[in-house]
Amino acid sequence: MKVVCAAAESDWERLASLVETAAAARFGFFSGQQRGSSRKKVKMPVKSKKILTLVLIQEARRVLLGMKKRGFGKGNWNGFGGKVKTGEETIEEGAKREVQEECGLIVSELDKVGILKFEFLGNPELLEVHVFSSSSYEGIPKESEEMQPRWFNIQRIPYDRMWPDDRFWFPLYLKGSRFTGYFMLKRMRVFIASFFFFLSFFLSFFLSFFLSFFLS
C-alpha cells in the first residue's frame, strides 16, 4: 500500500512533517511528544469532511477494547466510537453517546489525546477521527449488538487483531503522548497486490501441471 504519513505532535492542529513512503501497514508511522506543548496552525487542503470519534477507556495498567461484531472492521479489537451527528451534538457528546451504545458505560470526563485524519486516494472526503481517553465512568462494560468489550493489560495489547496502524500510534497513547496523523490509503494497490498474488498462484499451478504432464 502507498502511505502518506505525518509525525505525531502534542498539538493536533498541525502536521510537523509530511513524508511519502511505502509500507506494509494500513496507515503509517508516528513519533510523539508528551502532552502539553504549544499550538500552531498549518493550512490544509479544503475537502469535505466526516467527523468521527474513538474513545479509549483506561484503568491503571489495563485498557478496555471492543471486538467489532459486524460491519466494517468486523473481528478487530478497537476503541469505542463512531460518527458524530452534525448539528445535533458536539464531538464530545457524540463520543460519550457511542461509548454508552457500544459497551453500556456512562463516561463523565474525556481527555482529548489526538486526531487522526485519513482519506482514500480519489475520494474527496476526509475522515477526521477525534481520539479521547477516559478513566471516569459509571457502570460495568457489557456486550452490545455491535461490540464485545474486554479488558487488556497494557503489556498485552492484541495488535495482531487490530487495525495495522494501531501498532504505531497506540504505544504513543500508552506513553502519555498526544498525536496528530494524516494518512492516505491508495485502495488500488490492494487490488494490484491481490491480482499479482492470484496471477503468481495460477502460473505456479500451470507450470507444475505442465512439467508433470510432459515429464511423466
- pLDDT of residue 11 exceeding 50, the answer is no
Q: What is the mean pLDDT of residues 74-79?
A: 95
Question: Closest Cα partner for 147 from 82, 102, 98?
Answer: 102
Q: Are residues 155 and 201 in the same domain?
A: no
Q: Are 188 and 121 in contact (CB under 8 A)?
A: yes
Is residue 22 very low, low, confident or very high in pLDDT (cuts 50, 70, 90)? Answer: very low
Between 201 and 186, name the one with better pLDDT: 186
Please tell me the number of Cα atoms within 13 Å of 45 on its side-chain side. 9
pTM value is 0.68
Residue 107 CB-half CA count within 13 A: 27
- Indicate whether 43 pLDDT > 60: no
Q: Looking at the structure, do residues 110 and 209 belong to the same domain, yes or no? A: no
pLDDT at residue 193, as a whole number: 40
How many structural domains comprise the chain?
A: 2
Enclosing domain of residue 214? 190-216
140 and 110 within one domain? yes
Whether residue 157 is predicted with pLDDT greater than 80 in this model: the reply is yes
Going by pLDDT thresholds of 50, 70 and 90, the confidence category of residue 46 is low
On whether both 143 and 122 belong to a single domain, the answer is: yes
Is 171 in the same domain as 198?
A: no
The Cα 26–Cα 148 span in angstroms is 23
- Same domain, residue pair 67 and 173: yes
**Residue range 10-14: mean pLDDT, rounded:** 36
Residues 99, 196, single domain; the answer is: no
Mean pLDDT over residues 147-156, rounded? Answer: 97
pLDDT at position 166 over 70 = yes
Claim to verify: residue 25 and residue 89 sit in the same structural domain: yes
Domain of 170: which CATH number? 3.90.79.10
Are both 172 and 138 inside the same structural domain? yes
Whole-angstrom Cα distance, residue 144 to residue 133?
Answer: 21
152 and 213 co-located in one domain: no
Same domain, 172 and 196: no
User: Rounded to the nearest 5 degrees, what angle is found at the Cα of 69, between the Cα atoms of 66 and 74?
Assistant: 95
**What is the reported pLDDT for 2?**
35
Indicate whether 48 and 116 sit together in one domain: yes
